[in-house]
């Protein structure tokens, strides 16, 4: 649909808000795409798979082919949400001046009072809560999180999983988690949450877990948890582990190792780090990832081309993405 909309059209400036597939399609040999050189295309890139080497030869070959096509596409500006993918593109493509880092769109929490947030969610205000906000899916490591929480045996602490469940996760809870559910340690609600309830899951959290085992690209709940100054336990893999360690956002562990996960989770709850003082790196991370900065990055080239005032923009220094 995007290609048919822009092919031969009379337009000046086009934004594609999810360009991973489009970038590959436009980079194919004989793609047949033509446009006036005065027209500009900008796209948001979620990730480049080749930045995360696949475990099989076939997988790596497929990713290298996609990488080659992305490198030769005619898009003027590629905005990467994932610094690991951005760094890979810059290091492997001659047209690296087309690549930019894009902030996540995040807003301040709508509910910041913990007692009020607990009341909205129907929870006690005098208990400790571990949360993983969002939908309840296997790929997010919820199964591993639940097992690690059970093994950690921390008293008067509850794992709160409020969000729409996949069928496989519902089966898991039904078959393996009845004792946790009956004791009240595991609090479940299989439903979609509204934006206020979603914010409350951060506000009530004594610990936000981001246990995605092999997640490619960025994760918005990590950004949100960092901006909310929550204690964080995250997977050590990929962007999630890199960002957590690079910016001192929290602790990481191997979430696929049951002992490592449960021991680190126990340590986070029994002997939590002090988070009263926000480090300069964490502050820079949070300043970058705002709605205002996202808009400033999106509109910078459009404003430059038309002589319009540009919004104040915060860029990441190179030192912050070299780790």
What's the pLDDT tens digit per position in 256-283?
Answer: 999 999 999 999 998 866 555 678 888 8
d(Cα 267, Cα 260) in Å, to the nearest integer?
Answer: 11
CB within 8 Å of 45: residues ≥ 6 apart: 19, 20, 23, 78, 79, 80, 81, 82, 85
Mean pLDDT lowest among 61-70, 103-112, 142-151: 61-70
C-alpha gyration radius of the chain: 22
**What pLDDT band is residue 66 in, cutting at 50, 70 and 90?**
confident
234: phi then psi, degrees, rounded to nearest 5:
-130, 160
Flag whether pLDDT at 116 surpasses 90: yes
User: Rounded to an integer, what distance in angstroms lies between the CA atom of residue 130 and that of residue 6?
Assistant: 47
Q: Does domain 114-283 have CATH number 3.40.50.2000?
A: yes
Q: Strand 128-131 vs strand 157-162: parallel, antiparallel, or unpaired?
A: parallel
Place of tokens 């502050």: 283
Q: What is the pLDDT of residue 267?
A: 93
Q: Where are the domains of the chain?
A: 2-103+290-321, 114-283
pLDDT for the residue numbered 319: 44
Q: Could you report the per-residue pLDDT of 128-176, keeping only the tens digit for each?
A: 999 999 999 999 999 999 999 999 988 889 999 999 999 999 999 999 9
The mean pLDDT of 206-210, rounded to a whole number, is: 97
The pLDDT, as a whole number, for residue 1 is 63
Query: pLDDT: is 278 or 215 the higher one?
Result: 215
Query: Mean pLDDT over all residues of the chain?
Result: 90
For position 320, what pLDDT does the model report? Answer: 55
Per-residue pLDDT reduced to its tens digit, 5-14: 676 678 889 9
Residue 322 has pLDDT above 60, yes or no: no
């Amino acid at each position: 649909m995007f290609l048919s909309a822009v092919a031969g059209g009379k337009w000046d400036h086009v934004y594609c808000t999810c360009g991973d597939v489009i970038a590959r399609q436009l980079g194919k040999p004989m793609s047949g795409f033509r446009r006036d050189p005065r027209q500009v295309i900008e796209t948001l890139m979620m990730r480049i798979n080749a930045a995360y080497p696949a475990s099989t030869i076939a997988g790596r070959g497929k990713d290298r082919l996609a990488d080659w096509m992305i490198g030769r596409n005619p898009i003027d500006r590629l905005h990467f949400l994932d610094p690991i993918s951005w760094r890979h593109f810059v290091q492997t493509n001659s047209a690296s001046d087309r690549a930019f880092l894009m902030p996540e769109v995040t807003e301040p929490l709508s509910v910041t009072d913990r007692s009020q947030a607990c009341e909205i969610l129907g929870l006690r205000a005098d208990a400790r809560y571990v949360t993983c906000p969002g939908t309840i899916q296997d790929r997010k490591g919820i199964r591993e999180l639940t097992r690690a929480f059970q093994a950690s045996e921390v008293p008067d602490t509850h794992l709160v999983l409020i969000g729409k469940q996949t069928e496989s996760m519902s089966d898991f809870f039904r078959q393996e988690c009845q004792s946790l559910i009956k004791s009240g340690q595991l609090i479940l609600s299989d439903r979609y949450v509204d934006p206020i309830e979603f914010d409350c899951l951060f506000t009530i959290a004594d610990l936000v877990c981001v246990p995605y085992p092999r997640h490619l690209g960025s994760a918005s709940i990590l950004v949100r948890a960092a901006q909310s100054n929550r204690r964080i336990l995250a997977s050590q893999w990929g962007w999630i582990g890199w960002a957590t360690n690079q910016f001192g956002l929290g602790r990481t562990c191997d979430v696929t190792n049951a002992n490592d996960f449960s021991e680190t989770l126990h340590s986070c709850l029994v002997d939590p780090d002090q988070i009263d003082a926000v480090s300069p790196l964490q502050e820079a991370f949070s300043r970058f990832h705002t709605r205002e900065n996202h808009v400033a990055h999106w509109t910078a080239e459009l404003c430059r081309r038309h002589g319009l005032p540009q919004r104040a923009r915060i860029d990441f220094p190179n030192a912050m993405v070299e780790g």
